[in-house]
Structure 1
Amino acid sequence: MIRKTLNASRLQQEVDRRIHRLQAIVGDGVKIRVPRPQLQDPDKSGCNWTMTHFGNALGFDRDIEGVLKSVRAEYNLSTEVKQSGNPFDD
């Protein structure tokens, strides 16, 4: 399966959205802090990013891992560098 590509902010938002839709998290009313994705060399599945150090996530490791597994299968982190807008490239 070919992965879609998202920038770091959009990828962070997608993981956040999916985590906060989980029944266990909604039921507890907890707000988990989702870190920015970190670029890495592609793993054996081809995914080029990871996330670590979720905040306020004690006891929800399995739930978060499930979300990460599905999002990592669908998306890669964009590696495009934004242009500065400077026409002289200095």
Structure 2
Amino acid sequence: MIRKTLNASQLQQEVNRRLHRLQEVVEDGVKIRVPRPQLQEPDKTGCNWDMKHFGNAAGFERDIAAVLQAVRAEYNLRTEAKETENPFGDFPGD
């Protein structure tokens, strides 16, 4: 399966969204702090990022691992910077 790519903020938001929709998390009213994804060499599955050190996560380690596994299977971290320069390649004022 080809992974879609997201930037670091989008990946962080996606993991956060999925975690805070889990029934156990909603019922406990806990707010888990989701760290920024860290770029890594692609692992054996081809995923190029991971997350470690979730905050306020005691008792939810298994839920976090399941969400991470699912999101890592779907998405890779975008590595190229978005181009904000002139797409025509000419210089302003020429």
TM-score, scaled relative to structure 2: 0.87
What's 2:47 paired with?
A: 47
Residue of structure 2 equivalent to 1:13: 13
Identity, % of aligned positions: 74
> Where does the alignment leave 5 or more consecutive residues of structure 2 unmatched?
86-90
Provide, for residues 26-71 of structure 1, a one-character-per-residue CA deviation record: whole Å limited to 9, x for no partner.
Answer: 0000000000000000000000000000000001000000000000
Runs of 4 or more consecutive aligned structure 1 residues displaced over 3 Å after TM superposition: 82-85
1:4 aligns with 2:4: yes
Q: Which amino acid aligns with 1:19?
A: L
Secondary structure (helix, strand or coil) at the match of 1:35 reads coil
Question: Whole-Å Cα distance in 1 between the matches of residues 66 and 32 of structure 2?
Answer: 15
Matched residue of 1:52: which SS? Answer: coil
The residue aligned with 2:33 is: 33
Structure 1 unaligned residues grouped into runs of 5+? none
Task: State the Cα distance separating 1:82 from its structure 2 match.
Answer: 4.3
Q: How many residues align?
A: 88
Distance 2:35 2:58 in 1: 15
Q: Mean alpha-carbon deviation: is it higher for 40-49 or for 75-84?
A: 75-84
C-alpha deviation, 1:80, in angstroms: 0.8
RMSD: 1.6
TM-score by length of 1: 0.91
Give the number of the structure whose alpha-carbon radius of gyration is greater: 2
Q: Helix, strand or coil: the match of 1:10?
A: helix
Aligned to 2:88: none
